[in-house]
A and B are shown apart, each in its own frame.
Chain A
Amino acid sequence: REDIEIHNEHLSLIFDTTTGHLKTVTNLKNKLILNVQQAFYWYNSSTGNNQDSTQRSGAYIFRPNGTEPFPIHTKGSVITKVVTGALVQEVHQVFSDWVTQVIRLYDGQLHAELEWTVGPIPFKDSLGKEIITRFDSDMQTDKKFYTDSNGREILERELNHRLTWKLNQTEPVAGNYYPVNSRIFIKDNSRQLTVLTDRSQGGASLKDGSLELMVHRRMFYDDNFGVGEALNETGVFGEGLVARGKHYLMLESPADSSQLHRNLGEQLYMAPAVSFTPNTFSTQDWS
C-alpha cells in the first residue's frame, strides 16, 4: 500500500501507490527534489481534406486536432513488477496492452533509464494517433525549454515565439514542437530536468514545468505533401509496428547539468561496440 521507491547512490525514484506513475525524482547528492507525473498520452491526428484550414496529419505533417492529448492508462496501478538487486533495480509498468515501460536504475549511474515499448498502435477506431511520453513537474520554467539541434548546439525555445519574426500561432501544439536530436531539458533556478534520447525525436514544453517527446505515430490518411500514402506501417505481421527505445533522465543543478549531459550524450552516441565469440579456453588458458 505504500509508494514504491527504488534508489542508487545518486537518484531516488518514487512511484505513486495509486497510479503507479513516477511521482518524485530526488538527486540524493544535491538534495534536489522534483515532483513529477510521467505518463503516456496520444494526440488524435487531424483528418479533413487538406485545404488550408483542414490540413491532415501525415508523414510530413504533425497536426493534432486538439490541444489536450488523451491519457493512456489502465484502472489502478500500472506497476506490474518491481525488481531489486545490487547492480540494477527495475520497475515494470503496463499502461495498456500496447504501451509498456521499464524504468531502471543501475548502480553508480547518475541517470535513470526509461525503456518504452509502444505499439502496435490500435487502428480499429480509424483514429490516427501520435504517442508521446510527458513529464509534468513543479518547475517554474517561464515558457522556456531547450533542445539540441545537432547534439552540440543547444537552442533556447520559447512557447509561441520565434526569435527573428513575429509569430501568429495557429497550431498551439505542432507550432511549438522542435527537433530533439539527442536531448531536451527544462530548468528553474535550482533544478534542471534533462531527458536524453537514443534517436532523433520531436519534443516540446507546452505548459510550465512540462516536457514531452513523441515516440510513435500511425495515421490513415495521406497529407498530400508528396508521399502519396498514409504513415501506416503495418510491419511484418500486418498489425503495425512495435517501437522500443530509451530515454535517459537526469536531475541536476543547472550548473552541473551542462557537463554531465554532454558526458552522457557522448557515451550514448559512441556507445561501446559489443561482440561475442564462443570460447573453449579455460580462464587460465585464455589469460
Chain B
Amino acid sequence: SSQRFREAMAVAQHHDAVSGTEKQHVAYDYAMRLHAGAVECQEVVSHALAGKMKKGSVEPPAAQFCAYLNVSICPTTEENDHFSVTVYNPLARQVTGHYLRLPVNGQSYTVTAPNGKPVKTQMLKVTQQTAKVRGPRGNATSELVFPVTVEALGYSTYLISRATRTTRSLFMPQAETNVISMAIPQSPRM
C-alpha cells in the first residue's frame, strides 16, 4: 500500500503538472493524489521512527506531522503542554544550526536536548502577517524558536514542556525578544 506516493509522482511527470498548464480541476486532482501519498509516507516514517525509538517493550505514541508549520498551525504543539519533537536528517552529514519554529500557546517553554541539556529558545509573537491565511486557522499566540543538531542519517528527539513559574526561573535559557513596532503605512488601497 505504500506505493501511493510513488504512483502520484509518476502521474505528475506530465508537463502539465510540472509547469501548471493543466485545467483547474486537474490541478486539484494532482494535489489530492500527492496529498494522499504524502500522508501515507508519513505513516511509513512514523513506523520507522517508532521502530528505532522503541524502549524495550515500550512503543512510543505514533508520530504526528504538521503540514501548515509555514503558517504557524500545528495542533499537536498548540494543544499539548508536553510534547517531543523528533527531527530526522536524511543528509549524509551532520546538520547543525537548523532552526525549528513551533506554534505554541504558552508564555515560555523548556526545551531539553537528547543529551539532557537545556536548549536556548526564543519566543516570537505570531502576527497577522505571519499567520495570514484563510481557512483552517490555528490559535497559536507565539512561535517557539530553537536550534537543533542532528547526526548524518540520524534523528534527534527534543522534549518540550510548558514552563511553570518555578521551572521558568530555574533552568530556562530563553533569549529576550525585543519588538519595535512601526505604524502600519496606509496605502490608498488598504
Contacts and interface: CB of A to CB of B under 8 A. Distances in A.
A227 interface: yes
A90 B24 CA distance: 36
B45 to A, nearest CB: 6
Contacts of A78: 185
Interface in B120-171: 120-122, 124, 127, 129-130, 132-135, 145-148, 150, 159-161
B124 A85 contact: yes
Contacts, number: 190
B63 A276 contact: yes
A184 B29 CA distance: 31
A272 B87 contact: yes
Contacts of B77: 276
A100 B182 contact: no
Q: Is the interface of B mostly helix, strand, loop or mixed?
A: mixed
A274 B87 contact: yes
Nearest to B55: A286
A33 interface: no
Contacts of A122: 189
Interface of A: 59-60, 73-88, 90, 92, 94, 96-97, 100, 102, 106-109, 117, 122, 225-229, 231, 233, 235-237, 239, 242, 244, 266-267, 270-281, 283, 286-287
B20 A59 contact: yes
B49 A275 contact: yes
B89 interface: yes
A249 B31 CA distance: 29
A275 B46 contact: yes
A286 B175 contact: no
A85 B86 contact: no
A43 to B, nearest CB: 17
A231 B19 CA distance: 12
A279 B63 contact: no
Contacts of A226: 21
B147 A107 contact: yes
A235 B71 CA distance: 16
Contacts of A233: 24, 27
Nearest to A120: B134
Contacts of A60: 19, 21
Given A87-B121, A94-B185, A277 B83 contact: yes
Contacts of B132: 100, 117, 242
Nearest to B41: A273
Contacts of A117: 129, 132
B56 to A, nearest CB: 13
B186 interface: yes
Contact of B179 (A82, A106, A237): A82
Interface in B72-116: 74, 76-77, 80, 82-91, 95-100, 112, 116
B22 interface: yes
Contacts of A231: 20
Contacts of A100: 129, 132
